[in-house]
Each structure stands twice: as C-alpha cells, then as structure tokens.
Structure 1
C-alpha cells in the first residue's frame, strides 16, 4: 500500500512540475489563462442557472436517446432486408440458370436449323 501511495505522490508531483515548467512559456501561459477564464465563466453560469443547465442536459439526453432509437430501427430494417436477400438470392439464381438453359436450347435449335 505504501508503494502505491508513493507512486501516486510521484505522479502528482511530476504533473505539477510539468505544468509549472510549461507555464514558463508566455504563449502557453496566456492560453491557459484565457481557457481558465472561459471555464470560470461557464461554471459561474452553471451555479447561477442550475435549472436551465439541467433542462439542457435532459434535452440533449432525449436527443441522444431518439437518435439511438432511430439507428436501432434502421439497423433492424437493414437486417431484415439482408435476410430477405439471403432467402431470395438463391431463388433468383435458379430462375436465371433455368432461363439461361432454356434460351441456350432454343439458340442451339435455331443454329441447327440454319
């Protein structure tokens, strides 16, 4: 257990040192500050308007659920059509083969008469 704790501690320290070093670059620092402000303003909005955010999340979840249902129905339709094709293809091949034989016999007959 102690070794695992040391590993987690080492990972956290490494992450903090890496973050501190990357902030030495002015462009990275400015980008970080800009993104931090954006996240802060979004969090402030969520805290001030929790019901609106909950309704938005519910609406998005309903959209996702509807999309999943639509895709599921489409997949069921495609599976049914594939099964129909699997059943009808051999029948069609038999009909084509019989037609080919029939036409071939008549062509051979016509050639012999010439």
Structure 2
C-alpha cells in the first residue's frame, strides 16, 4: 500500500514540476494567463447571474431531450422499414425466379 502512495505522490510531483517548467516560456505563460482569465470571468458571471445560467441549462436540457426523442423516433422508423424490407425480400426473390423461368421457357 505504501508503494502505491509513493507512486501517485511521485506522479503528482512530476506533473507539478512539468507544469512549472513549462511556464518558463513566455508564450505559454500568456496563454495560461489568458485561459485562466476567461475561466475566472465565466465563473464570476455564473455567480452573478445564477438565474440566467439555470435557464440556459434548462433550455439545453430540453433541447437535448427533444433531440434524443427525435433520434429515437427516427431509429424506430428505420427499424420498421428494415423489417418491411426483410419481409418483402422473399416475395421479390420468388417473383424474380418466376420471371426468369418464364423468360427461359419462352426462349426454349
């Protein structure tokens, strides 16, 4: 058990060290700062406008449910058509065989 803890501690320490070393590059620092600023702005907006966020989440959830329902209906329709084709295939095969036999008899 102790070796596992040392492993994950080492992995975490390595990740932190790698992150800090990557921040030595100016472009990386600016990119991280810009991204952090955008995230902080979005979080701040969420705290100051909770009703708007809740409304948006509710709307997106409703859209997702409607889309899922439509997909389910489409799948049911396609499945029904596939079943119809499966039922029709033996009839079509028989008709083709009969037609072939009729042509062969005429040409004989």
Give the match for residue 38 of structure 1. 38
CA distance in 2 between partners of 1:8 and 1:48 (Å)? 38
CA 51–4 in structure 1, closer or farther in 2 if over 3 Å, else same: farther
Give the match for residue 71 of structure 1. 71
The alignment covers a number of residue pairs equal to 108
TM-score, length-scaled by structure 2: 0.92
> Which structure 2 residues correspond to residues 1-114 of structure 1 after superposition, within 5 A?
1-108=1-108
CA distance in 2 between partners of 1:62 and 1:8 (Å)? 41
Q: How far 1:103 sits from its partner (Å)? A: 2.2
Q: Which deviates further from its counterpart, 1-10 or 20-29?
A: 1-10
Q: How far 1:94 sits from its partner (Å)? A: 0.3
Aligned structure 1 segments of 4 or more residues deviating by more than 6 angstroms: none
Match of 1:4, SS state, is helix
Structure 1: segments with no counterpart, 5+ residues: 109-114
Q: How far 1:9 sits from its partner (Å)? A: 2.2
CA distance in 1 between partners of 2:12 and 2:51 (Å)? 35
In angstroms, what is the RMSD of aligned CA positions?
Answer: 1.3
CA distance in 2 between partners of 1:49 and 1:61 (Å)? 19
Q: Which deviates further from its counterpart, 2-11 or 50-59?
A: 2-11
CA distance in 1 between partners of 2:15 and 2:75 (Å)? 45
